[in-house]
Structures are given as structure tokens and as C-alpha cells.
Amino acid sequence: MPVTALPTRYGIGGFSPEAYRFVDRLVQAGQKIWQVLPMGPTGYGDSPYQSASAYAGNPYMISLDLLKEEGLLTQEECDEADCGQNPGLVSYERIYRTRYEVLRKAFERFDAGNEPEYETFVAKNGEWLEDYALYSVIKQQQEGRPWMEWPDPLRLRDEAALDEQYESMEAEIRFVIFRQYLFAKQWGQLKSYANERGIRILGDIPIYAAMDSADAWADPAQFQFDADLQPAGVAGCPPDAYAVDGQLWGNPLYDWPYHHETGYSWWISRMRHIKELYDIVRIDHFRGFESYYSVPYGEPTARNGHWEPGPGLEIFRALEAALGEMDVIAEDLGFLTDSVREMVKESGYPGMKVLQFAFEGNPHNEYLPHNHIRNAIVYTGTHDNETSRGWFKSVGDYTRNFCLDYLGCQGHTEEQFAEDMIRAALSSVADTAVIPMQDYLNLDNRARFNEPSTLGGINWCWRMQPGQFTEELAEKIRRMTERYGRC
């Protein structure tokens, strides 16, 4: 359940009282894990996998209600930020135009001297926070243009030019830092509330940084840039049955020899930060550490890319040596070679089993429940898939009939199918089962969260309606969870 999909009055889910009520429902439903999507600040396209920072949090998630309780906002000011005209969808454009001005009012009333945790936060996070704040205010000054299009003194980080920016924009820099402090404070309180009630948070981190990000601008040496900071290649994945041109993600590629020489210090810093945000971490596109797909910069599609070797398990050995044992899930979906499978197996991290990938007719398909292993996480579908109900309606007759026959639910209709898939996931031998909230709500593809290789539309916009997660549904989920020994 993405945080942004929680119901609130203000147009997007966040760390509001509704989030605490959601945790209470999870407890009532006998659940142990709440999986969320990346929570970084989003930009054009609204994708949480293309964030302006590998460290920063999304200020849209800050609860205005909690700021009102602290005396930093009035109810009238909160009402100005009401972007909930459609309670079922996030309106990112409305939020972009109104949210920061309301938060600015809270900033003007905030007295850092009376909140010692603020100085602690700034001191603890200074390594990334100052760069992110400076990047953010320059980007604002440059009318939103990506850093690659800034004037050379700023693009190339001329020290005198940056000093001048810092002096002239100091108040705006402090406003950015204030927003990050609120994010960290409110998320920390919500996470503690969940942990105290037996709910662990499963977070998600993208393998790549975004091209237009503070990370790429502030430390270009870690990426495959030339002397003029132009990328040699960008990230993507090759053509397959789902995308005939492949997927052109456009992220800068890591300079893995450089990371090896530095002892993976940036990754250690990043993962240390992530371990504080989440109890369990799903690493997106895990196969990219074994080998990664490089597309020449400027190509219109991913067709002409090629594979390059990644760092393999060396990076995870370095992380474990620095940070101790990590509770990691390897997102091992997509095109897998024997060497990738061997790396996942040797890592000891559980991989993912997605039921929607199981029913093409091959009894040896690794996603079919009878082929599951214990060290795995089983899903009906992920944020990139259709809802189970939507999948049932859209797949071909052969796949649908094979699935119904396999599950022993011949004759079941679209209305019944999501529960059939949930039962298949819960009855798997996989140690952990994660069910999208849309499937428990039995929603069709109007509630689909993302369609890969597409931009705009309703991607990343779905929200749960107020009152949908009822006490009756929570009790039903608990009964199903108990039935399969997972409560």
C-alpha cells in the first residue's frame, strides 16, 4: 500500500491520522508487514523511481493535520491546500501549485531553537542534505530546468558560483531543510507506531539514481559521465514480450570501478540511511548488480543497448561488513540468466514470485505455487502489474482457463477471482506473502498503480477511498491469514 494512496483530505496520502488508522487496521487484520514504495521527492512523470534524491523524502507526505496540532498552521491554511476534489486520484499538479506555500507558513512560525531534534537532524544528515537543498533552490531559480541545462558555473559546480548562490538563497535553503526535517520526524513517528504494534515496514529502493538528481549533480564521479558531464550510456532493459522496444529508463549508469576503489562508500552511506527508514529493504532491479543494460545516450529506444558486467556480490559483502546483517529482498524479476540466478542464490536474499507471471501453461514455471521455495516473497502482483481482477479480464482465454483449472476454481467469475489469487499466494510455501491493497479491495484496473513504459495517465495516482478498508474487511483478511498459518 503506497503511502501516497492513503486517504486524506488534502489530495495525497501521507503521515496523517488516516495513516495511523491504517496501521490499526493492519493489526486488526493480523498482518506483520506493510510494504511501501520509494518515498523520495518526485518530479516530471510523478514516478517514485525517478527521484531528485536517493536520500530525501517527499514533502507532499508531510501531514498538515499534525502541523496544525503543533500550532504551525491554522485550519483555514490547511483548507487552502485541499487538493482532494477527486478522492480516488492524486492531483500532482494541484499539489505542486499549493502545498509548498502552505508549508512555508509553517516554516515562518517554526522556532528551531525550541526544537533540539532539528539541529541533531541537520548535523546527522549534512553529508547529503546541504547538496540536496542547494540543488533544489538552484533548480527553482532556473525555472525547473534539469541541472544538465544550467549555466556552466552552476552545472560544473564552480565554487565561487555556489557560494554566491548559498548566500543569496540562504532562506530558501533553510526552507528545504525544514521540509526534510518534518518528513523525517513524522515518518519516524509513524514507523515507531507501526513497529510498536508488530508491523514491520518493507521499503523499496531503486537501484539507480535519476539523471536530474542532486546525487548526479553533486557527485558526478560515481557515474559514467565524460569530462563535460555528458553520459556515455543510460539505463534500461532490452526488448521483451511486454515492450518490443525495451524500456528506456534514462538513468545515469554507475562507474563501478570507481565505486570499487572507494570501497562502495556512497552505497554504504545510502544503505545506512535506508536502514533507518525501513525494517526490510526491497532492492529494485537486483539483477543489475550482476550485469546491467547500457543504452547509448541519445538513442530513442532501448533496442540498441548491450550488457555490461556489474559488481556482483562484492558490493553486498562490503555493505554487510560495514553495516552488519541486512534484511533484504532481491527484486529478481525480468530477464534472468543462470549467472543472475546463481548470484541471487548465493546472496541468501529471498527473491520474488509473482503469480500473474505463472499461468502461461508450463508446469515448470518457477512462479507456479508448486514450484515455490521457502526463501521467497510471493505476490499476486506488484505495483507494475494489473490488479488481479483486471488481469483476469484482460488475459487471453488459454491463460485464464489454465489459471482457473490450476487453482481449482473453474467457473469463477471476475468478481471472485482476486480472492482466488490471494488464497494461492497465502497457501504458498514461500515464507512471506504480500498482497496489494487493491486485490483485498477487489478493484479492477481503474485502480492499477503503474503501467511500465507509459507516462502520464493515472500512473502513480490511485488512492484508497475513505472508509474502504472496513472493519469487516480486516476481519476477513485475518481469517484468511490464520487459515494459512501466517497470522
Contacts of 86 (CB under 8 A, 6+ apart): none
Q: State which amino acid sits at residue 420.
A: D
Q: Please, what sign has the CA dihedral across residues 377, 383, 388, 394?
A: negative
384 catalytic per annotation: yes
* Cα distances (angstroms) measured from residue 380 to each of 329, 383, 433, 438: 16, 10, 9, 11
Residue 124: its H or E element: helix 116-141
Q: Please, what sign has the CA dihedral across residues 257, 315, 275, 117?
A: negative
DSSP state, 469?
A: S
User: How many C-alpha atoms does 401 have within 13 Å on its Cβ side?
Assistant: 3
* Cα distances (angstroms) measured from residue 403 to each of 127, 215, 289, 406: 51, 44, 33, 5
420 catalytic per annotation: no
Rounded Cα gap, residues 476 and 151, in angstroms: 58
Asked if 249 contacts 207 with a C-beta cutoff of 8 angstroms, the reply is no
DSSP state, 428?
A: S
Asked if 50 contacts 42 with a C-beta cutoff of 8 angstroms, the reply is yes
Rounded Cα gap, residues 340 and 358, in angstroms: 20
Rounded Cα gap, residues 335 and 158, in angstroms: 42
- Choice among 18, 204, 215, 331 that is catalytic: 331
Which of 389, 380, 396, 383 shows the shortest CA–CA distance to 444? 389
- Choice among 219, 384, 414, 431 that is catalytic: 384
- Choice among 204, 284, 386, 444 that is catalytic: 284
Other beta carbons within 10 Å of 482: 12
Straight-line distance from the first to the last Cα atom of the chain, in angstroms, rounded to the nearest whole number? 19
284 catalytic per annotation: yes
Q: State which amino acid sits at residue 347.
A: S
Distance of CA 219 to the CA centre of its chain: 22
Q: Which regions of 206-245 does DSSP assign to beta strands (E)? A: 233-237
Rounded to 5 degrees, φ, ψ at 329 are -115, 130
What region does 412 belong to: left with phi over 0, alpha with psi -120 to 50, or beta?
beta
Residue 306: its H or E element: strand 306-309
Rounded Cα gap, residues 210 and 219, in angstroms: 13
Which residues are catalytically annotated? 284, 331, 384
